[in-house]
Amino acid sequence: MVVLVVFLLLALAAPRAAPAAAPGFVALDRLSDGELERRIKFEGVFARETSLADPEHSEGLVLREVSDGRRLVQLIYSDGGDTLVDCDILRKRNATRQFLRRFHADEQRARLADDRALKVPPNATFTALSPVAPPPETWLHFPTLVAACKKSHRRINALLHSRKNGDADNNAEEQLARVKRSWGIAPGTTWCGHGDSANKLRNLGVFARTDKCCRRHDHCPLLIGGFESRFGYFNFRPFTLSHCACDERFRTCLKLTGTGAANMVGKLFFNVVQTKCFVLKIEKVCKKYSWWGKCLRYKRQKQAYLRDNLSY
């Protein structure tokens, strides 16, 4: 009995082997209407890349969402993923949890699609990664992505500060315009993106139905341009801020279109770029003051207040 007790104590005291880390993988999902999603898990990093699988428009916009399990960074690239246009670092746990929940659900679906014993349409591939052989992608290093995003934000803040102080030597106005232009136009469209590339109002791109949604949204009469002030609010981002009614019509139009191009535009716009819209309220403000600071004349003006957009 004594020997058995000693043996049990030694067994409990012995260090336990660490559980084996879950193997990494690369999952590729091609939707029939042209949207391409790639999910990668490697060494505690969870990444999802969304783009349009159109060889003729390989220079288009790319959305990358990467998490280390605690934070989530969202990045939009142009030139097929080479140029960082805008980004955001989300530290709220709910945002990270929702991303990881969708990621794991997509992972299970990709594993089932790769199971040859199941009769699943071959629109998805699943490839396991060796622990000693990292994936070829160079954008999975989470600290590097966070640093690049912070650097981009510092640059824009410095340009805004220079423009506010009237520092002509830095050409702040021209550089801010370049930042806005870098958002570009979504491939296959002439209206989806910053500005438009259409020569005439009726000109539409290859994805005409998606383009019509963007064209109508671009002509919303109530908007605040990037880096501009209107309705008592300064829009510090390079993207136009629209009235909530216009955004809701835009979201409904894209959902009804239901193509890969429409879904790509919807995800970029509502889930990353413009999670906010604004409503207008009439407020009474002083128009003229007396010498002693008493208001002599009031006026009513429209004031913008931000609201959360519905996710796509």
- Percent of the chain at pLDDT exceeding 90: 21
Q: Answer whether residue 66 shows pLDDT above 90.
A: yes
pLDDT in tens, 76-123: 887 777 788 888 888 888 889 999 998 888 777 766 765 655 544 556
Q: Which residue is catalytic, options 196, 217, 218, 243?
A: 217
Residue 165 has pLDDT above 80, yes or no: no
- Six-digit token pair at 3? 């020997």
- 36: pLDDT confidence band, cut at 50, 70 and 90? confident
Our answer to whether residue 217 is catalytic in this structure is: yes
pLDDT at 249 (0 to 100):
94
Question: In terms of pLDDT, which residue wins out, 145 or 130?
Answer: 145
Q: 209-236 pLDDT, tens per residue?
A: 888 888 888 889 999 988 888 998 988 8
Predicted confidence at residue 20, as pLDDT, reads 46
pLDDT of res. 65: 93
- Asked if residue 288 lies in contact with residue 255, where contact means CB atoms within 8 angstroms, the answer is no
The whole-angstrom separation of Cα 207 and Cα 190 is 9
Residue 147 has pLDDT above 50, yes or no: yes
Query: What is the distance of C-alpha 168 from the center of its chain?
Result: 32
Average pLDDT of span 50-71:
76
Task: Say if pTM beats, i.e. exceeds, 0.85.
Answer: no
Residue 156 in this model has a pLDDT that exceeds 90: no
- Region 178-205: what's the mean pLDDT? 54
Domains of the chain as residue ranges with CATH: 24-130+139-144 (no CATH), 183-308 (1.20.90.10)
